[in-house]
Amino acid sequence: MTDSPALELTGLVHRYARSYVLRGANLQLARGEVLALYGSNGAGKTTLLKIMATALSPSRGTGKILGFPLNDQQRIRGKVLLVSHHLGLYQELSGLENLEFSAKMSLKNTPKASLQIALERVGMGSVTARVRAYSSGMRKRLALAKMLILEPELVLLDEPFAALDPEGKNLVEELLTLERQRGTTLIIASHEPERTAKISSLETTLQNGLLSEPNAPRLA
Amino acid sequence: MNPWRVILTIAAKDWRIEGRARDVLTATIFFAGLVVMILAFAFGPESTRLRQAAPGVLWVAIAFASILAASRAFASEAEDGALEALLLYPVPHELIYLGKLLSNIGLMLILALLVVPLTVLLYDVKVGEKLLLLLLTVFLGVIGFSIISTFQSSLTVNLRARESLLPVLIFPLVVPVVIGAVKATTLIVTNGSGGEIWGWLRLLIGFNVVYVTVCTLIFPFAVES
């Protein structure tokens, strides 16, 4: 499976009620690539990422994620991490407890010391408060700490730079660059091409439900 | 993968959240206690009358409290997209249902441990050597309510009218639990025969086995998009 492409999507169609969001999107991506996904609001970027993460099933079309067919959800879920707008954090748990829960549910025996190191890597090593008290930037950092402990093969990021101060944006850029160097395949849906282009190796645009042919980033 | 580890991880997470927020226990204990006390005043001081009413009052309190608990069972998952994240972990969804069920049963048993002594005290109930049978009845009844309420709560978690829909969805399905639990408790309180009591307890056991199997198998289809 490791020599198979990271993504092979063919003719993906998705609709909500009568409204078509994807109209036959195709995409092939090799492992280790970093794809910047652009498109206007409502273009279907989040829907596409959710289909890749198996959070949504496409209305039509076929595909493979890391060599596994889209309907082999459990295997895909063990290797893919989706960091979406809704970060999936428990408000009454601390950052460390949220990470511990994620590690256990991902069937990893991660020692607490490693979880603490991951928190320190995202600049939250000394924060012991519950997530309810976090700012949106701190929540995003915590969600990215999941990436460090779960070590997924494919990371899908929906607006990773949104709601972050310049320091936070630099940190995300640094973390994603390290992930790229580690060989992780990244797909970054973003409205900030100037930042995303620094990390990405390819870019594509989702427009009218179709994806453009991936090209080298123009702003790099 | 150790399925028990997954189930316990989910339940422990819920109990930890409840230990801090106390959303479920505060509301249900207050509500159930109020029901038991108001009805005790309504039935008056006559012991025989109170004893006859006790089984019904106990199960009215537990049944309505379980609806309240159900509406909160998936509430922590509804915040910030936690349910979507939970469903994206590489574990069978059946285990997620069983984890949520275990957490709900734990909370309802804490409630029952407070409501049963309060009912026994206020309604002058004499259970004597049948105390263990009463506890077993409450245990089986609470499990029955939790099986259905946890499942229905997962179906309605994203609906705006969740709290008004839940009773409509839950009560028709828990009729056998209500009948079995009230009948068994009445026989225990009125010193009925052990054979008759066990007949109703067998109904509760059968219901729980059938419904936990059905709900566990259906849950993945119910929550998948």
Three-state secondary-structure class, residue B48: helix
Give the DSSP H/E element, type plus range, for residue A157: strand A154-158
Region A199-203: mean pLDDT is 92
Q: How confident is the model at residue B188 (pLDDT cuts 50, 70, 90)?
A: very high
Q: How far apart are the CA of B84 and the nearest CA of chain A, in angstroms?
A: 7
- Is the pLDDT reported for residue B225 higher than 70? no
Q: How does A69-79 read in b/e, with b if 16+ C-beta sit within 10 Å? A: ebeebebbbbb
Question: What pLDDT score was predicted for residue A164?
Answer: 84
Pull the structure tokens for residue B76.
């922590």
pTM for the whole thing?
0.91
Kindly list the distances between the CA atom of residue A96 and the CA atoms of A101, A115, A151, A160, in Å, as whole numbers in the listed order. 9, 7, 17, 21
Q: Average per-residue pLDDT in chain B?
A: 91
Rg of chain B taking only CA atoms, in angstroms: 18
Domain boundaries, chain B: 3-224
Chain A / chain B CB contacts < 8 angstroms = 75
Query: What is the number of H-type helices and E-type strands within chain B?
Result: 10, 0
Report pLDDT digits (tens) over B110-138: 999 999 999 999 999 988 888 999 999 99
Confidence grade of residue B164 (pLDDT, cut at 50, 70, 90) = confident
CA distance to partner chain B, nearest, from residue A50 (Å): 10
Return the pLDDT at A125.
85
Contacts of B81 in chain A (CB under 8 A): 84-88
Range from A210-219, B60-69, B129-138, B201-210 carrying the lowest mean pLDDT: A210-219
ipTM of the complex in this document: 0.90
Point out the residue among A77, A84, A89 whose CB comes nearest to the CB of B89. A77
